[in-house]
Amino acid sequence: MLENKTFGMISLGCDKNRVDAERLLAIVRGRGCTVTNDLAEAQIVIVNTCAFLNAARKEAIETVLDCDAYRGGRLEKIVVTGCLPEKFVHELFPSLTEADVFLGCNDADALLAAIERSYRENCRVDAVGTGHESRGGRVLTTPLHYAYLKIADGCNNHCTYCLIPKIRGRYRSYPTDGLVAEAASLGELSELILVAQDTTRYGEDLYGKNALVDLIRRLSALDNVAHIRLLYCYPEAIGEDLIGELAANPKLVKYLDIPLQHSEDRVLKRMNRKGSRAEYARLLENLRARVPGIALRSTFIAGFPGETAEEAEALASFVREQKLENCGFFAYSREPDTPAYRLKEQIPAREKQRRVKMLYAAQREVSLQRQRARVGTVLRVLCDGADFDRGCFVGRAYFSAPEIDGKVYFHAREAEQGSFYDVKITRADAYDLYGATEDYL
């Protein structure tokens, strides 16, 4: 029945969700079905959802409603998968009648059977919890020269603001042999990006010891992987062995994404974060001393319940002092079914947004100083493609991850996606850099 159907896919949320969506596409392709990027041509649309924050849940529902507008054309079925139905299907199934099939985060192998049942019985199907997570192939949705490798799922950290353990469950590492085989199957990669809710605890549940460095070394031995980048490294789990590997392994990008979330001890304790301001400062100092030139990125939450004006100012001061390469700042989102939801001293939305703006202003000072110092230098830049609106190529230096960090816009006589070029920087703003290759100047 499904072999003659054309599928479309919308994946919302993080890069970990993207990997899940790529596995679903592989299942669809494995059945011999057609996949299109044009929703107007799709008979079945899969919406892979995020539910981490209320804003993400709202976006997911609005996306389903937007898809429903295609019913007057070729669209026959809407499938909602991922975090939103995993956590909220009992509320969602009766109310979101625009959707035909619901599956959770680990129901990939139930996808086709659930869709076939919806066709056969002309009914809506709740298949959440009826399948198993797919560890099969993937259809890459990134440019072909880089890919994400999800090395684990779930989380044991239980931060008081976070729904992830309630959605994704306990931390589960994937076997090293399977990950190495998966990475080897992804084609020639300029960059392989390791992701999980917490990459730094890889292997502890599966092997009884931390196995992240072992995994990195196995992946580094692959001929098709030129470089490896690490995201989502929890600060208290960054050990000396990982720092040593960052310093010594030429394939490991000198870049670390460390979600600190705050700097002040009292707020960190209320968040159930394990570190302190002093410990974070020592970690950052140690990383810079051991890995010269390392680029450090972090995320911070503004307006957590009970955060005083003084603590907000102290966080901004920490941002200015530490001079991190890139930062993301988010207003605290009060999520039901999390411990922080019940905390007193909730901060008004307007004040939370004011504090976010204050943090971005602090980081802008840092970024402008860093970026302006690069004008006149030559950077090694990975070409991600062309920006036709700007009439130039676009890429990234080692201190930038795809989609979340700044870019380098550059002119060249020619450039190939996935190749590296020496670019002389001629101009900078707080986020992006601009320049040209020597043959163009």
Q: How far apart are CA 139 and CA 141, in angstroms?
A: 6
Q: What is the enclosing helix (H) or strand (E) of 297?
A: strand 295-302
Domain segments of the chain: what residues? 2-126, 146-372, 375-437
pLDDT at residue number 133: 82
pLDDT grade, residue 135 (50/70/90)?
confident
Which residue's entry shows tokens 């003084």? 310
Q: What is the enclosing helix (H) or strand (E) of 244?
A: helix 240-248
- What residues contact 181, with CB distance under 8 A and at least 6 apart? none
> Which residue from 212, 216, 217, 218 is spatially nearest to 200, judged by alpha carbons?
212
- At 423, the amino acid letter reads V
- What residues contact 305, with CB distance under 8 A and at least 6 apart? 270, 332, 334, 340, 343, 344, 345, 346, 347
Domain 146-372 belongs in CATH node 3.80.30.20: yes
Q: Is the pLDDT of residue 194 over 80?
A: yes
Topology adopted by domain 2-126:
Rossmann fold (3.40.50)
> Which residue from 223, 228, 232 is spatially nearest to 213, judged by alpha carbons?
228
- At 134, the amino acid letter reads S
pLDDT at residue number 371: 96
Q: How far apart are CA 229 and CA 254, in angstroms?
A: 8
Q: How far apart are CA 23 and CA 429, in angstroms?
A: 38
Note whether 146-372 and 375-437 share their fold: no
Q: How many CB atoms lie within 10 A of CB 6?
A: 18
- What residues contact 248, with CB distance under 8 A and at least 6 apart? none
Q: How many CB atoms lie within 10 A of CB 389?
A: 6
411-423 tens-digit pLDDT: 999 999 999 999 9
pTM for this one?
0.95
For β-strands 295-302 and 378-387, DSSP reports them as unpaired
Tell me the CATH number for domain 375-437: 2.40.50.140
423-438 tens-digit pLDDT: 999 999 999 999 999 9
CB 173 within 8 A of CB 151: yes
pLDDT grade, residue 440 (50/70/90)?
confident
Q: How far apart are CA 434 and CA 428, in angstroms?
A: 6
Q: How many CB atoms lie within 10 A of CB 198?
A: 20
DSSP label at residue 347: P
Q: How many CB atoms lie within 10 A of CB 225?
A: 22
Which residue's entry shows tokens 């002092």? 321
Please name the residue ranges forming H helices in 331-418: 349-374
Q: Is the pLDDT of residue 1 over 90?
A: no
266-318 tens-digit pLDDT: 999 999 999 999 999 999 999 999 999 999 999 999 999 999 999 999 999 99
pLDDT at residue number 132: 86
